[in-house]
Amino acid sequence: MERFILSLDEGTTSARAIIFNRESNVLSVGQYEFPQHYPKPGWVEHNPEEIWDAQFRAIKTALERAKIEPSQIAAIGVTNQRETTIVWDRSGKPLHNAIVWQCRRTAEMVEEIKREYGDVIKEKTGLVPDAYFSASKLKWLLDNVPGLREKAERGEVLFGTVDTFLIYRLTGEHVTDYSNASRTMLFNIRRLEWDDELLEIFNIPEEVLPEVRESSEVYGYTKRELLGAEIPVSGDAGDQQAALFGQAGFEAGMVKATYGTGSFILANTGKTVRYSNNLLTTIAWGLNGKITYALEGSVFITGAAVQWLRDGIRIIKSAPETEELARKLESNEGVYFVPAFVGLGAPYWDQFARGLIIGITRGTGREHLARATLEAIAYLTRDVVEEMERLVGIKELRVDGGATANDFLMEFQADILNRRVVRPVVKETTALGAAYLAGLAVDYWESLEEIRSLWKAERVFEPTMDEETRERLYRGWKEAVKRAMGWAKVVGA
């Protein structure tokens, strides 16, 4: 009987289930979107039950489309939107909506904590204190949901990022992996444990925290009543770390960029913990008793800006239309779009920046806005790569995510970086990374060498832009960013 790996790829706007075979080819995909909830300006929430429903439906659909039985699944890997914070009781019932990584409700709280404890947090967690991470979100829930803190102190509340919630629903085990734990701002990445001082700073009882395990090991088995089979859940990694793994970025110096709701650039630094003032130091994965570290630049809004063109101002009907519009122009004609809808992440870390479109004239049309949006994604990636180059040598950028299908964006990315951009054959690298981690734990794949041999490039984009044009365009971008920074403070919003 042929066997397969099921990967659960739970993102910010949808949940997917993808089934891979031994050659890492995709057999089938199930995908369902779930609602985004915005209770106040700058607040973003998900209903955990809606996440679970979308994920479970995706599993059933993937199995049906592949025409295989659950018993043919050798293992399940989980990858997830990171930092998003969920609390639930021991029956698995959520006790509040999830607070999403994009949510800015704790920005002022974090600014206050940062003034006194910023250096301590950076040293222990590798993170720049920001509302992006889980710690302040969990503190907000404990402080603002009636009775929640009291229940937590009695051991009746469980906290986790989305991976932990899904694994709990599937197996009943309250666990996470090193990569997800390192995104909470509560985990000491050197000592590999929840940090008592950080728990005290954020006033969080240790009883709510999951057990932290390696990224590739058997955490538990699916409840038989869910799928009709007890399948090992044996891979877990945050979405960006999983994408680096899926890109076979196993050696120090290998770099990948994932273009999704936001863009996330990771550079493998091996066993070395490297610090940068403007980048995050994070755990890439824990495997075979060893920890691999990474530098990360997190760009909060990129693909979401294209979504805004479609759903917000409705100048496009679908994302692929942006390429057609962008190619109608020979240049951006001085129009820049800084998509700082929820502030700016790396390397700026300005919680109070806001979106800006500048350079508009009477002749500006939707093609300019479409092109400026795609160019912004590339500029934001260069911002991060320039910071990384201070610590890591970068020869090429391996790319993945939905936006990599846009050839204009990939060409402009290569031009503005002045280095080659490599798009792989299998573009589902986030799901594939989780699948690899799950498969390694049950000997479905034998080694990293076997996985490395499965990675293949589909297309390489080489830079063709001249140096003067590249730097002139980038200078314009940096000026536009300056004007967007701190805007929420200026207007008191």
For residue range 198-251, what is the model confidence (pLDDT) as tens digits? 999 999 999 999 999 999 999 999 999 999 999 999 999 999 999 999 999 998
Q: Is the peptide bond before 339 cis (omega within 30 degrees of 0)?
A: no
Residues 6+ apart with CB under 8 A from 144: none
pLDDT at 493 over 70: no
Q: What are phi and psi of 5, to 5 degrees?
A: -115, 135
- Residue 187 identity (one-letter amino acid): F
In tens, the pLDDT along 110-168 reads 999 999 999 999 999 999 898 989 999 999 999 999 999 999 999 999 999 999 999 99
Contact 322, 396 (CB under 8 A): no
Output the pLDDT for position 260: 82
Collapsing DSSP states into helix, strand and coil, what is residue 352? coil
DSSP 489: H
* 65, containing H or E segment: helix 48-66
User: How many Å apart are CA 429 and CA 377, to the nearest integer?
Assistant: 19
pLDDT, tens only, 338-376: 999 989 988 998 988 999 999 999 999 999 999 999 999
pTM exceeds 0.85 for this model: yes
pLDDT above 70 as % of the chain:
100
Q: Looking at residues 263-281, what average pLDDT do you find?
A: 90
Which tens digit of pLDDT belongs to each residue from 178-198?
A: 999 999 999 999 999 999 999
Local confidence band at 272 (pLDDT 50, 70, 90 cut-offs): confident
Report the C-alpha gap between 2 and 74 in whole angstroms. Answer: 9
pLDDT for 415 beyond 80: yes
Question: At 486, phi and psi to the nearest 5?
Answer: 75, 10
Confidence of residue 298 (pLDDT cuts 50, 70, 90): confident
pLDDT value at residue 199: 97
Average pLDDT over residues 414-439: 94
How sure is the predictor about 391, in pLDDT bands with cuts at 50, 70 and 90? confident
Where are the alpha helices (H) located in 249-404, listed in sequence order? Answer: 303-311, 321-326, 366-388
> What is the per-residue pLDDT across 366-390, written as a single tens digit (0 to 9) for each?
999 999 999 999 999 999 999 998 8
Q: What is the pLDDT of residues 27-48, one digit of tens each?
A: 999 999 999 999 998 899 999 9
pLDDT at 247: 94
Residue 402, pLDDT score: 85
